[in-house]
Chain A
Amino acid sequence: MIPAIVVFCYLAIVLYIGIFAFRKSTGSRDDFFLANRSLGPYIFVLSLFGTNMTAFAILGSSGLAYQRGIGVYGLMASSSGFVIPLTLFFIGTRLWHLGKKFGHLTQVQYFRDRWECSFVGTVIFALTAVMLVPYLIIGTMGGGTTLESISTVMGEDGKPVMVQVYNPDGTPAMEPVMVPKVVDGKPTPQKVPKLDENGNKVLQPKMEPKHWVSYEVGAALVALVVMSYVFFGGMRGTAWVNSFQTLLFLSFGAAAFIIIGSKQDGGFSALMDKMAANPRTAALLTRERIPMEEFFSYTFIPLSSIMFPHIAIMCMTAEKVTHFKKTVIFYPLCIMAIWLPCVYFGVIGAELVPGLSQETSDDVIPRMLRENTNVLLAGILGAGIMACVMASDSQILALSTMFSEDIFRYYGGKEKFGERVQVWTGRVFIIIVTLIAYLIALELKDKEGIFELAIRFAFSGFAALAPVMLAALFWKRSNKWGALAATLWVAFSLGFTWWLFSDTELIKPPPGKFVDIPGYGGIFQRSFSNVLVYGFLPVMPMVIGSALLMIGVSLLTPPPSRATIEKYFPPKTA
């Protein structure tokens, strides 16, 4: 129960931060959606970084390192540490400038004005909104799962108290008894159902650990807390909570390193020797399980960061553009401080908690800490994990900002009802979105994988929209037709790769290998978790295709008007 109490305290703190931010607000549109464009340098760097750090990034990286080794750091972290600061430097600063100069709050407002076209903005709005929604659902699901997990009732023997599971009709649920598969007379790690003498599966009552807080209540609590501080605090509350969470992540990594290291006989050095000597784990200390093509093409993924609406909107909250200076310099170091321990723990987890599947390996750090800490530290750990899963706050606010600016305001809502109503529309939207995400999280409790998959696809989609933004900012000749062609290409290629992925489920190879998908002349391959194009991740052809369409179609169609070009590319004064 103690870990759950610590987490409740954490939830109370973030709720208080949101309410405190509300007391500082002026009620205006800029204040609610952009914190009045007044964030100071330290809150700006911490909140921008925290906004990017989701459960998917932190727990997902350790889970992937558990399966594929140390290369995950180079694959995801150091590539992000290189690409994201560059995008903030070249794109973020310009978004800030244009936002301040012309009053834009969202990317769509900028695109509509830059390309003199409402429709292209609407298409981009629809695509980005669809790609953002899975985050909200995963955040709510993660909250329910985490609270349920840390409130497990433990027996006197130190093991969870188990209770019978019942079907919806009230009958006891049953499950097959699983036994190790025997090959050549020897048991293997693979489990198969036990059969009786007639060949029928032997069943046993289905049991599960008893929890103080159920999944449903946990998800509701987390959704309510996130909704409240976003509802009251708006961007200011969200930025403060994100800063607090970033500090928590940073201290969490260091604490975990010390705690786990101190429990190992001979320290990490002896552990590494043991792993190097074991053929099962030796490959994890090199990059054998990551193909070079995948490593190379993964560097396109961090281009997605600046195209996420919540990151682009966050760029407009800085009080001064000079606040970006510290942000871009410290960003790679912050990434290192958080991801290095995560990847390292994921790798040593393969030795300390062996046998986790692809689906459960994201839980490797919580498991290691549970086994190496006391209840109080486990609670603090729970709060750290909760901070990860609650990163959906920025996405909720971004969706609310997009709805109230790109739909409500654009179609005359503000003129008809006024600015205060617009802000309240944004707030009501937050409640509706949270409620829908909660209901989906309840209904599709066991379908978490679908939304995680959607998020992975969304990264490629946002990355492939980056050429659209680059063209808008740096190429006068780019026009709405080029932008529309590139956006439709992104939507099409996302749909196609999703379909190809689902259609090849039956031929998926084990992790680390890939097979040709028949019927495509060797163009497409299927790996365990993705579709590949000539061995490269689909994000690479998607980005290149988007850039080529942006350039080609723009050149074949008329340029934007002289007035628009002069507005966005004013002649330089001496």
Chain B
Amino acid sequence: MKKVLLILMVVCVYALHQDFWLWRDNTRVFGILPIGLAYHAGFSILAAIMMFVLVKFAWPSELETVEPQQAPGEADK
């Protein structure tokens, strides 16, 4: 269930990137930022939050422990 919710979150965030509803909107935020730019600045913050959630709930902790099995570079021989 957790996995499904996380996948859904990533898909939703991606969908929010395609903000076709603001395509020709020339409103400005605080008078200086066109809304299309302000929205995507906000999207960048949302992407950071998404990554925080992924790190919190889907971090591949099994990768943390490593036992080197071969001398460096010998694997491709």
The answer to whether A binds B is: yes
CA distance A256 to B73 in the complex (A): 46
Kindly identify which residue among A70, A94, A292, A414 contacts B34, using a CB–CB cutoff of 8 Å.
Answer: A70
CB<8 Å pairs between A and B, sample of 25: A70-B34, A73-B37, A81-B43, A82-B47, A89-B51, A102-B69, A102-B70, A104-B76, A110-B76, A268-B32, A269-B32, A285-B26, A285-B28, A285-B36, A286-B25, A286-B34, A296-B18, A299-B17, A325-B59, A328-B55, A329-B52, A336-B41, A336-B45, A409-B73, A414-B73
Q: Contact between B75 and A78 (Cβ–Cβ < 8 Å)?
A: no
Q: Contact between B76 and A109 (Cβ–Cβ < 8 Å)?
A: yes
Report A-chain residues with C-beta under 8 Å of the C-beta of B43.
74, 78, 81-82
Q: Contact between B63 and A103 (Cβ–Cβ < 8 Å)?
A: no
Q: Contact between A286 and B26 (Cβ–Cβ < 8 Å)?
A: yes
Interface set of B (CB-CB < 8 Å, partner A): 10, 13-14, 17-20, 22-26, 28, 31-34, 36-37, 39-41, 43-45, 47-48, 50-52, 54-55, 59-60, 62-64, 66-76
**A385 interface residue per 8 A CB criterion:** no
Q: Contact between A104 and B75 (Cβ–Cβ < 8 Å)?
A: yes
Q: Contact between A78 and B24 (Cβ–Cβ < 8 Å)?
A: no
Q: Contact between B47 and A81 (Cβ–Cβ < 8 Å)?
A: yes
**A370 interface residue per 8 A CB criterion:** no
**A493 interface residue per 8 A CB criterion:** no
Q: Contact between B64 and A320 (Cβ–Cβ < 8 Å)?
A: yes
**A479 interface residue per 8 A CB criterion:** no
**A177 interface residue per 8 A CB criterion:** no
0/1 per residue, A316-356, Cβ < 8 Å to B? 00001110010011111101100010011001000000000
Q: Do A292 and B20 contact each other (CB < 8 Å), given the known contacts A100-B68, A336-B44?
A: yes
Q: Is the interface of A mostly helix, strand, loop or mixed?
A: helix
Report A-chain residues with C-beta under 8 Å of the C-beta of B76.
104, 108-110, 112-113, 121, 410
Report A-chain residues with C-beta under 8 Å of the C-beta of B74.
103
**A187 interface residue per 8 A CB criterion:** no
**A288 interface residue per 8 A CB criterion:** yes
| Residue on B nearest A296 in the bound complex, by CB | B18
Kindly identify which residue among A79, A113, A272, A325 contacts B31, using a CB–CB cutoff of 8 Å.
Answer: A272
Q: A352 to chain B: closest CB distance in Å? A: 15
Q: B44 to chain A: closest CB distance in Å? A: 4
**A234 interface residue per 8 A CB criterion:** no
Q: A344-B37, A409-B73 are in contact. List 17 more A-B contacts (CB 8 A).
A: A73-B40, A81-B48, A97-B66, A102-B75, A103-B71, A104-B75, A105-B72, A113-B75, A268-B32, A276-B26, A276-B28, A282-B26, A286-B26, A287-B23, A321-B60, A330-B48, A332-B48
Q: Contact between A329 and B48 (Cβ–Cβ < 8 Å)?
A: yes
Q: Contact between B54 and A335 (Cβ–Cβ < 8 Å)?
A: no
CA distance A89 to B37 in the complex (A): 26
Q: Contact between A109 and B73 (Cβ–Cβ < 8 Å)?
A: yes
**A212 interface residue per 8 A CB criterion:** no
CA distance A192 to B26 in the complex (A): 36
CA distance A332 to B41 in the complex (A): 9
Kindly identify which residue among A30, A82, A343 contacts B17, using a CB–CB cutoff of 8 Å.
Answer: A82
Report A-chain residues with C-beta under 8 Å of the C-beta of B50.
82
- Residues of A in contact (CB 8 Å), total 65
Report A-chain residues with C-beta under 8 Å of the C-beta of B18.
295-296
Q: B7 to chain A: closest CB distance in Å? A: 12
Q: Do A74 and B73 contact each other (CB < 8 Å), given the known contacts A269-B32, A285-B26?
A: no
Give the tally of cross-chain contacts (CB within 8 A). Answer: 155
Q: Contact between B36 and A70 (Cβ–Cβ < 8 Å)?
A: yes
Report A-chain residues with C-beta under 8 Å of the C-beta of B73.
29, 103-105, 109, 405, 409, 414
B-facing residues in A536-560 (Cβ within 8 Å)? none
Report B-chain residues with C-beta under 8 Å of the C-beta of A113.
75-76
CA distance A161 to B39 in the complex (A): 45
CA distance A336 to B46 in the complex (A): 11
Q: B32 to chain A: closest CB distance in Å? A: 4
CA distance A399 to B36 in the complex (A): 39
CA distance A336 to B33 in the complex (A): 14
| Residue on A nearest B32 in the bound complex, by CB | A268
B-facing residues in A371-415 (Cβ within 8 Å)? 405, 409-410, 414
0/1 per residue, A407-432, Cβ < 8 Å to B? 00110001000000000000000000
Q: Contact between A89 and B54 (Cβ–Cβ < 8 Å)?
A: yes
CA distance A282 to B34 in the complex (A): 11
Q: Do A292 and B23 contact each other (CB < 8 Å), given the known contacts A79-B17, A109-B73, A405-B73?
A: yes
Q: B20 to chain A: closest CB distance in Å? A: 6
0/1 per residue, A90-102, Cβ < 8 Å to B? 0001101100111
Q: Do A103 and B68 contact each other (CB < 8 Å), given the known contacts A267-B32, A268-B32?
A: yes
Q: Contact between A288 and B44 (Cβ–Cβ < 8 Å)?
A: no
Q: Contact between B72 and A103 (Cβ–Cβ < 8 Å)?
A: yes
CA distance A145 to B40 in the complex (A): 33
Report A-chain residues with C-beta under 8 Å of the C-beta of B72.
29-30, 103, 105
Report A-chain residues with C-beta under 8 Å of the C-beta of B22.
287
Q: Contact between A103 and B51 (Cβ–Cβ < 8 Å)?
A: no
CA distance A105 to B70 in the complex (A): 13
CA distance A418 to B25 in the complex (A): 64
0/1 per residue, A28-49, Cβ < 8 Å to B? 0110000000000000000000
Report B-chain residues with C-beta under 8 Å of the C-beta of A112.
76
CA distance A287 to B23 in the complex (A): 5
Kindly identify which residue among B40, B54, B70 contacts A74, using a CB–CB cutoff of 8 Å.
Answer: B40
Q: Contact between B24 and A287 (Cβ–Cβ < 8 Å)?
A: yes
Q: Contact between B37 and A329 (Cβ–Cβ < 8 Å)?
A: no
| Residue on A nearest B64 in the bound complex, by CB | A321
CA distance A503 to B24 in the complex (A): 34
Report B-chain residues with C-beta under 8 Å of the C-beta of A347.
34
Q: Contact between B36 and A100 (Cβ–Cβ < 8 Å)?
A: no
Q: Do A77 and B44 contact each other (CB < 8 Å), given the known contacts A109-B73, A320-B64?
A: yes
